Amino acid sequence: DVKVTQSSRYLVKRTGEKVFLECVQDMDHENMFWYRQDPGLGLRLIYFSYDVKMKEKGDIPEGYSVSREKKERFSLILESASTNQTSMYLCASSRGREKKAFFGQGTRLTVV
Amino acid sequence: EDQVTQSPEALRLQEGESSSLNCSYTVSGLRGLFWYRQDPGKGPEFLFTLYSAGEEKEKERLKATLTKKESFLHITAPKPEDSATYLCAVENNAGNMLTFGGGTRLMVKP
């Protein structure tokens, strides 16, 4: 069974902290994505990656960075967490040119 | 800029009461339209991909259809376990990103 695993289901961090969200996929997919999901705004793409060490900005990259050192792992970094980054974060992966994406279970991040 | 609008935002049905969810889109060359189901507190789960107008896909009580401007997700004789948020997304010819709609929250009462 295909799997995208996010390191935490729930996180509470303080304003100004550096936050790491980790995502691992076991399907040997080339593409990986980070979204955030907020009520009334739907899913918005933060960053994506086509390959190891490759990254592309999505619609809302400000305040975030990413790292992809290995094919199976894609990390989202909040350099200095702020309260407006409180959200549900979803990682996804897909194969090659396919856009049929498989999602992780999500990380609900609260910044206080 | 690609846009996806889903309606209604929320839909309450009685068990067995068939209905349809709408996904209207504007996109610079549609490469694919995707339907996902999302249960509370979980990530979206893939349901269907539609590629061209006139195409239909079915899975159990769900049937997805596609025209040049919109897609419908028809739910026939729904059961309480069909309660979830249904998300629609489009891929255009140029990019590698999906644009998602806001979703329709479906509640099916026994």
Over residues B1-20, the pLDDT tens digits come to: 889 999 999 999 999 999 99
Q: Alpha-carbon distance A94 to A103, whole Å? A: 9
Task: Let me know: does A27 contact A3? Beta carbons within 8 Å.
Answer: yes
Q: Alpha-carbon distance B14 to A35, whole Å? A: 33
Q: The domain at A4-111 falls in which architecture?
A: Sandwich (2.60)
- Residue B93: half-sphere exposure toward Cβ, Cα within 13 Å: 5
Least confident of A31-40, A44-53, A93-102: A93-102
* pLDDT value of residue A1: 64
Domain map of chain A by residue range? 4-111
Q: Residues of A with CB below 8 A from B32's CB?
A: 99
Average pLDDT score, chain B: 94
The answer, yes or no, to whether residue A60 has pLDDT greater than 90, is: yes
Query: pLDDT tens digits for B36-89?
Result: 999 998 999 999 999 999 999 999 999 999 999 999 999 999 999 999 999 999
Domain map of chain B by residue range? 1-48+83-110
Report cis status (omega within 30 of 0) of the bond before B110.
Answer: no
Q: How far is residue A97 CA from its own chain's centroid?
A: 19
* pLDDT value of residue A39: 86
The CATH code belonging to domain B1-48+83-110 is: 2.60.40.10
Nearest CA-CA distance, residue B48 and chain A, Å: 9
Nearest to B46 among A48, A102, A104 (CB): A102
Q: Alpha-carbon distance B82 to B77, whole Å? A: 10
